[in-house]
Amino acid sequence: MRTPLVAGNWKMNLDRRAGVDLAAAVRSHLEGLEGVEGAIYPPFVYIEEVARACAGTALAVGGQDICDQEVGAFTGEVSGAMLRDVGATTVLVGHSERRHVYGETDEKCALKVRRALASGLKVCLCIGETLEQRDAGQTEKVCSTQLHGSLNGLSTEDMGQITIAYEPVWAIGTGQTASPDQAGAAHAYVRGVLSGLFNQAVADATRILYGGSVKPSNAADLLSVPDIDGALVGGAALTADNFLPILDAATEVRVR
């Protein structure tokens, strides 16, 4: 059985003190739960202090992005080795804001995924369609294209270090949320694509998270869908009052 993962992407929010305090609250709460894993993705400049606050616990700390190059004259970039050096164990790749605000392609994402794995980092790969694409009936096509492009060149062994996050772009930061039926259909389709790309064992073992306006009021309904293995949380991950109940929901759903 896949262990649910609830991950919080802080994006460009919080300061040092607030970040460390939030990490401590999540760490402490997670220690009292069974059957769920947690991860947080602070801004680069806070990773080391947040990772220090979470050292020796089950709460993973990761980077929100990674350079596709190992080292060199790449001003403003952060390498996988640097992330590891400050305590990160995982990294987001292909978040919708990287794809749609900064124009990152599937090919660029594939380079970043391979660089992350070579650096010893786990990867949470984000995929998902825009509202225009959903309205045009292109959800499955978009997800398939992004998976094929971003996972290009990976082996079945590599997939043991990969988590997929399905994020309908139209539901990120908008207050809109995919219904459990909509999210479940997309997740089931993604799992089918993984089976075709690799094999059924890989598809069955890979965690697929839902991301898009997840909050305490809808977490249980979303996480109860069979193919949804957790959540990638944005705005609700910025306070303990909102994030901790989502961790609880993941635990409660799995013990029903």
Catalytic residues: 95, 167
With residue 204 as reference, give the H or E element that holds it: helix 200-205
Neighbours of 75 (CB within 10 A): 4
Cα 58 from Cα 17, distance rounded (Å): 21
Strands (E), 118-180: 122-127, 162-166
**Residue 248 DSSP label:** H
Cα 168 from Cα 96, distance rounded (Å): 9
Cα 78 from Cα 226, distance rounded (Å): 36
Give, in degrees to the nearest 5, the angle at Cα 254 between 94 and 232. Answer: 20
Give, in degrees to the nearest 5, the angle at Cα 229 between 246 and 130. Answer: 90
